[in-house]
Copies of this chain bind each other. A is one copy, B any other.
């Protein structure tokens, strides 16, 4: 029982560190989110911090995972279709450190054998499933036509969202959510068979 207590305590501390690291990265970006800063905010020494996350890569990857879970819990609702996704995008504009972390890690992770590659591959499967759900939602309420090419739409919208993040990091005046809302509207319009005139 003592061991189980220890384990639960360790898991709770790990979750606390992740929550704090998430805020520090969102606020300061990965470069300035030092081990010293994160350790201080959770009342640990730097070696104490490294007991829970042995490398910064591991910590940041878990930050990305925790962020997805938090966003999903906060914003996802199947009844709201694509609007759930737009809410996440709009929220992203308030956490540039996390957007940059995602952009950088997803780029690096494309290397064969990179430790984060599996995470991003699985994440794409997950996001594709969510986006497919959003298309089906629109089809059910007849906002999108029955013959829309779902894999094409799904990949396109995810790609546009990813690419817009790079543009937005260089120029924060770009309204990512607005551009994606208009893309979605365009998909709706072209999803119906052409009317013979």
Contacts and interface: CB of A to CB of B under 8 A. Distances in A.
Interface of A: 29, 31, 100, 103-104, 106-111, 117, 120-121, 124, 152, 155-156, 158-164, 166-167, 169-171, 174, 179, 182-183, 186-187, 189-190, 195, 197
Given A117-B170, A170-B124, A195-B197, A155 B159 contact: no
Contacts of A161: 159, 163
Contacts of A182: 152, 156
B179 A186 contact: no
Contacts of A103: 107, 110
Contacts of A152: 179, 182
Contact of A162 (B104, B163, B195): B163
Given A182-B152, A195-B197, A159 B170 contact: no
Contacts of A109: 170
A189 B120 CA distance: 33
Output the residue of A100, A117, A124, A170 with the most chain B CB within 10 A.
A170
A159 to B, nearest CB: 3
A18 B108 CA distance: 23
29 contacts: A29-B111, A100-B107, A100-B111, A103-B107, A103-B110, A104-B108, A106-B107, A120-B170, A121-B170, A124-B167, A152-B179, A155-B164, A155-B174, A156-B160, A156-B164, A159-B159, A159-B161, A159-B164, A159-B167, A159-B179, A160-B160, A161-B163, A162-B162, A162-B163, A162-B166, A163-B164, A186-B186, A186-B190, A195-B197
